[in-house]
Structure 1
């Protein structure tokens, strides 16, 4: 009889469990091996095994009788043989006998499929007919047992494969989730790293920008400090020069006044002599009349002599009056100004002179030093800019200084007037802003306006308005005439006409800005009404020449807009008079140097520039740069 070798259709090792059934095992060994396999699978698997054996395997015979697993019962079918009744009984008796264990040592099963088993079974069936019924039945049972073992092993292997596939799918799913989470974490970390780098770059850029801005700010502050120091030194130098000039002028004025007082004393002495002579003549006439009544003959002889003496005594007074009349006529020919303007000028200058003399006496008798107040006033005026807040602050600080009880108001007010007028010559002079400051200060200290106008009249006679005509009989030399109209002398040399016209234009621009200034809620003591009066007096009295043309043009440039807005057609009539009379008088002089100023005034009138608000008149709300205030360019005259 041939042998079959049993081999499972699965891998030899799964989860460290070796599948290698041996066909020559006994049934108890096979069962114990299966129990151990089930226990190992149950312990090693994370999920329960597909089935769990709760009891030992049981075998039943063909008649449904339970058999013990310790033995096999063999029987023959009716198809193969028919037994007699006695043989059936014997067979029945044999069935009650315990069968011996079937030995499968020589049985061999291959790995072929069921068809191979059937062929082998057929071959064995054929062979069993040769060996007998007992061996055939035993072989059949052994074959069925082997098939059942193979089926069980196959089912367990299938369960193991299913479990392995499930575990692999779970592992693959877990690995996929882990990979997806890892990619998500990588993306998140990449975004966070990008965001962090961006924040670092922004912070670094902001830091570098702040450093650069701080460096620029420091540089600008340093430049502004250097420029301010230089300007301060220049202003101090100019102030010293101006003070020296003012002292020289005061000395010259004192000498002139002393000379005038001497002349007045001399005239008073002459007048006293004249009165004494007159009284003596009257006395002699009375005595002569008495003698005439006493002696008739003597009266006839003494009467002609008395008349002759009387006429001789009256000759000197008549000549004196003639000289005074001649002098007055000469002065009227030299000075061209309205009488009202001259009266106002003399009143303001007299007030300023009296105040200066009182201040001089006060300074000489006082031990206090008031120069710090003057320097503070000068510094505040130099810092005036065309900004609303700047104007308000500077005006408030100036009012505080003028009302400071530690310094007499007469000294601080005179210093304020002098510093404002001297600031006209500064290239960064903001005339409209300065006009606002003057109006605000004068509204609190009204005395400041008259003193300021007096300083204007001293510095520039065309603010009166007044003009002095050159005459050889009235002036000793041309230099004396230039000094009288306002030319400065530096080192024994008079300034040029060009420099004088430049200063004249600066003074007239500030004066025009002052008369046109309108501050809401604050009255202007010297406002547009005074500007209108100035223009009328100017056109009525002053001649047309280079000096008056420059003064008129500067005044119109700053005050023309407000005068037109206030007086409308009356102001346009004034402009027609200027265009037709004043400019024609300038052209008739035939001086080519007058052409630029003539063209500028003509363009101002014909192009209706008086309808346009002049640049800088409206104060700015705030600085364009909070760090530096650009210096304004100096005005350029057309007469250079």
Structure 2
């Protein structure tokens, strides 16, 4: 039977879609048309589909092989087309013929809302014709195979995504682990660098300190060699001068012997002449006595003159008046004056000994004085520096080239004169004095004598001004310690500044405990307590005494309270109730600043705070010593009676 040419009916409109008659369609064109239909359905559907098609349809066979997109071949048997012979269509071939592209008469689209295990999402099923035919079956089979392929592709994609997600998670965990390891390694490297840097800093500091120490030792050696050289040179000069002086003394002794012999001869001659003169005079007087009768006129003259008893009575009255006047002028405790006299006497005797040593020796000891002065000026608040300076001073005292009395005298003078320096550290200087005098106790009295001579309020004593005792105010100021420069007396402000410096040194000296650094302080807190008692009992309240008292309390108040507690509080009560009231009663504007300072010291209880500079620094770093904290018992018992 010949091949039959299929034709479709005229285009119809199904669901608003028009089908154009095109007999040359292929499966590729059909799939494209189906894709466009599905897209339109997806757009018109109110329910969003779970999967949107992003890939063109591909036709697969039953065994999964991809089919060609060419026109399909339809087989037609003789029995199926027996009735169509009358339609005058020619049959050109009995075998298979290649059919042309066709259009379907009708499309029926149906969508199922039912869910199933194989189709979890909303599927759209398309039926090409109402009548079931071969083409529709093939199309349905292709659709089903396509759905299965899409599902398999989705499963594969999900599996691949899960695999990628696991891989990414593992990669991120591995990267995080690597980052942590890297951070730990960096921290370890930085720690090593820090340790190495600190080690280098420590080594550099040690090298610097070693270099400084080496330089100091080198300078010390150079200075010692210079001192030894100067000492040897001075010794040679002294020997030469001693020989010369010995020769001169011999010559002088010889000349004095000759002179003495001459004087003796002349004295004998004068004695003989005087004896002859006296004998002649006595003989003349006897003769005159016999001849003269004027002896009665001598008695009235003797009575008129008052005789020797009247003269002696006038002298005694003058002495009594002067002693009474001196007692009114001088205000001090008798024990304090006695100690002052003893110390000044020791200083005077030492100066006489040193004067005789200098006159009998050709050696010049000024270099020793300059060295001692330089060491004292270099004293600072560093513990090592204080110990070093004290050791150097002890070495100078033990140096046989210079007599010890001269070295001690220089030390006492330089320590006191250094008080006037702006960079003077009272606590450090007092520490050096304690360290030195612990090995040379006789030096303490000499230092105190120099301090008493520089400031009378360290005794303590006060001299009042009276017109009958002093020619002028300038003479009075000189007596109490004012300095004179080029005929001009220094101002009261400058004098009070120096007075403050001397009192701070004295207060720092007595405030050290009985033992400091293992050394005995021969003028410690006991002497400081005695000074405060003598001061409050004997001295009046004025500008000079107020400055002296405030400076002393600043330096020694903390230590005195630490030892005497309640007794010291009674002293402060006396100052508040008597001394300050006496200052206020004078109504002097110049007294108001110092009065306010003393009052603030008492009201703010500054004696509970350790004064600045009292604790010496240790090495290059400060090592502050905490004050005692056990203040509550005695202090609170006395504080209610304080003001």
TM score, norm. by length of structure 2: 0.50
Which residue in 2 is equivalent to 1:463? 458
Which residue in 1 is equivalent to 2:221? none
Which residue in 1 is equivalent to 2:614? 617
Name the SS for the 2:446 alignment partner: helix
Query: 565, 569, 585: which is aligned to 1:568?
Result: 565
**Distance (Å, rounded) in 2 between the aligned partners of 1:535 and 1:577:** 11
Structure 1 gap segments, 5+ residues each? 1-194, 219-300, 626-640
Name the SS for the 1:444 alignment partner: coil
Structure 2 gap segments, 5+ residues each? 1-187, 212-295, 623-643
8 Å contact from structure 1 (residues 386, 620) kept in 2: yes
| Cα shift readout 1:261-308 (whole Å, capped 9, x = no counterpart) | xxxxxxxxxxxxxxxxxxxxxxxxxxxxxxxxxxxxxxxx9xx99997
Query: 393, 398, 402: which is aligned to 2:393?
Result: 398
Which residue in 1 is equivalent to 2:433? 438
8 Å contact from structure 1 (residues 468, 485) kept in 2: yes
The 1:400–1:584 alpha-carbon spacing in structure 2 relative to 1, beyond 3 Å, is same
**Distance (Å, rounded) in 2 between the aligned partners of 1:464 and 1:352:** 15
Within 5 A, what are the aligned runs for 1:58-73? none
Q: How far has the Cα of 1:387 moved from its partner?
A: 2.0
Query: 583, 590, 593: which is aligned to 1:586?
Result: 583
Which residue in 2 is equivalent to 1:386? 381
**Distance (Å, rounded) in 1 between the aligned partners of 2:426 and 2:573:** 27
Q: Does 1:426 align with 2:426?
A: no
Within 5 A, what are the aligned runs for 1:229-268? none
| Cα shift readout 1:12-54 (whole Å, capped 9, x = no counterpart) | xxxxxxxxxxxxxxxxxxxxxxxxxxxxxxxxxxxxxxxxxxx
**Distance (Å, rounded) in 2 between the aligned partners of 1:528 and 1:489:** 35
Within 5 A, what are the aligned runs for 1:407-418? 407-418=402-413
- Name the structure with the higher helix share: 1
Name the SS for the 1:487 alignment partner: coil
**Mean Cα deviation higher: 310-319 or 363-372:** 310-319
Which residue in 2 is equivalent to 1:529? 526
Within 5 A, what are the aligned runs for 1:594-613? 594-613=591-610
Query: 418, 429, 448: which is aligned to 2:443?
Result: 448
Higher RCO structure (Cα 8 Å, ≥6 apart): 1
Within 5 A, what are the aligned runs for 1:68-467? 312-467=307-462
**Distance (Å, rounded) in 2 between the aligned partners of 1:566 and 1:468:** 32
**Distance (Å, rounded) in 2 between the aligned partners of 1:352 and 1:208:** 52
Name the SS for the 1:314 alignment partner: helix
8 Å contact from structure 1 (residues 342, 464) kept in 2: yes
Name the SS for the 1:462 alignment partner: helix
Which residue in 1 is equivalent to 2:536? 539
**Distance (Å, rounded) in 1 between the aligned partners of 2:377 and 2:468:** 43
8 Å contact from structure 1 (residues 432, 517) kept in 2: no
Which residue in 1 is equivalent to 2:546? 549
Query: 477, 481, 484: which is aligned to 2:476?
Result: 481
Larger Rg: 1
**Mean Cα deviation higher: 544-553 or 429-438:** 429-438
**Distance (Å, rounded) in 2 between the aligned partners of 1:208 and 1:616:** 29
Name the SS for the 1:539 alignment partner: helix
| Cα shift readout 1:614-633 (whole Å, capped 9, x = no counterpart) | 111112222239xxxxxxxx
The 1:208–1:336 alpha-carbon spacing in structure 2 relative to 1, beyond 3 Å, is closer
**Distance (Å, rounded) in 2 between the aligned partners of 1:462 and 1:583:** 18
Q: Does 1:499 align with 2:494?
A: yes
**Distance (Å, rounded) in 1 between the aligned partners of 2:347 and 2:394:** 19
RMSD: 3.9
Q: How far has the Cα of 1:496 moved from its partner?
A: 0.8
8 Å contact from structure 1 (residues 387, 619) kept in 2: yes
**Distance (Å, rounded) in 1 between the aligned partners of 2:537 and 2:300:** 55
Name the SS for the 1:328 alignment partner: helix
**Distance (Å, rounded) in 1 between the aligned partners of 2:498 and 2:441:** 27
**Distance (Å, rounded) in 2 between the aligned partners of 1:208 and 1:401:** 38
Q: How far has the Cα of 1:521 moved from its partner?
A: 2.9
**Distance (Å, rounded) in 2 between the aligned partners of 1:208 and 1:522:** 37
**Distance (Å, rounded) in 2 between the aligned partners of 1:413 and 1:512:** 21
The 1:564–1:305 alpha-carbon spacing in structure 2 relative to 1, beyond 3 Å, is same
**Distance (Å, rounded) in 1 between the aligned partners of 2:391 and 2:510:** 21
Q: How far has the Cα of 1:536 moved from its partner?
A: 1.0
Name the SS for the 1:411 alignment partner: helix
Which residue in 2 is equivalent to 1:36? none
Q: How far has the Cα of 1:451 moved from its partner?
A: 0.5
8 Å contact from structure 1 (residues 424, 506) kept in 2: yes
Which residue in 2 is equivalent to 1:490? 485
